[in-house]
Amino acid sequence: MSIDVPASDTVDDASADSQVTQEFIPHTWTGKLRKVVQRRLPYDQMLPETQPSYVASWIYVFGVATIAALAVIIASGTVLTFRGPMWWHTSSIGHYVNSLHFWSVQLFFLFMVVHMWGKFWMAAWRGNRARTWMTGVVAFLVSLGAGLTGYLIQTNFDSQWIAFEAKDGINAAGAGSFFNVTDFGQMLMMHVFLFPGIIALLVIAHVIYVRLHGVVPPIEADLVEARLAEAKLADEPAQTVDQPAVAFQAESTDGSAE
């Protein structure tokens, strides 16, 4: 035998359950951590379905292109790390992977520089986006160190020449005591572990800040939107006056025709 439940009772039960869920207070550290993460990183902002229309401009492409080049750098660098110098110096496939790693680095810096200059002239720190700008700048500076150490571990004459030419400048700056460019082991660990880890953390933080505060709009965007809003408000009274006039004219025309 089936029992029919009134729809009002079902709605009341659902609202009561949702109210209990909203008022739930976690008592464990995992629950508290989840609540903090959900409050500080809302899902609708972390994974948005739409973007403003101005994101279609080419200047907004170079940030994503920089991340794509970084992904190729990490993938090709991982292969080079496992196979070793003898492989990328003697094998044809090693030459290819080494070249892929090299040219992805060139594109990485090209895209990053264009991205930074574009955001600089757009004043990308506007609208509480200072942390977004700072994480990007620091990521660029750390990438310079990663690029230098990469040149130093090529294990060829080029890397030796760069190391001994850079040694004097770094010693003159007072950093040679803890940053020894002629120490292959130190440069190798910095290149494959320290600098990539810092860059990855900075890029993740940069993307999170972009998601939280949104993509920076062009400087003229506010002015254009304000002008469009003023034009829309100016057109609304004219439309409300013209519509009755048109209707009255139609009625008079019909009456004369009859």
Q: What is the pLDDT of residues 185-212, one digit of tens each?
A: 999 999 999 999 999 999 999 999 999 9
Q: What integer pLDDT is reported at residue 244 of this predicted model?
A: 44
pTM above 0.85, yes or no: no
* Tokens 């409300």, located at residue: 240
Counting as low any pLDDT under 70, the low residues of the chain are 1-24, 222, 224-225, 228, 236-258
What would the pLDDT profile of 88-109 be if each residue is shown by its tens digit? Answer: 999 999 999 999 999 999 999 9
Q: What integer pLDDT is reported at residue 145 of this predicted model?
A: 94
Residue 258 and residue 107: Cα distance in Å, rounded? 77
Tell me which residue of 148, 124, 142 sits closest to 218, measured CA to CA.
124
| Cβ–Cβ < 8 Å for 190, 145 | yes
Residue 77 and residue 196: Cα distance in Å, rounded? 10
Q: What integer pLDDT is reported at residue 22 of this predicted model?
A: 59
CA angle at 240 for the pair 235 and 243, rounded to the nearest 5°: 115
CA angle at 211 for the pair 192 and 36, rounded to the nearest 5°: 90
Q: Is the dihedral of CA 84, 202, 137, 108 positive or negative?
A: positive
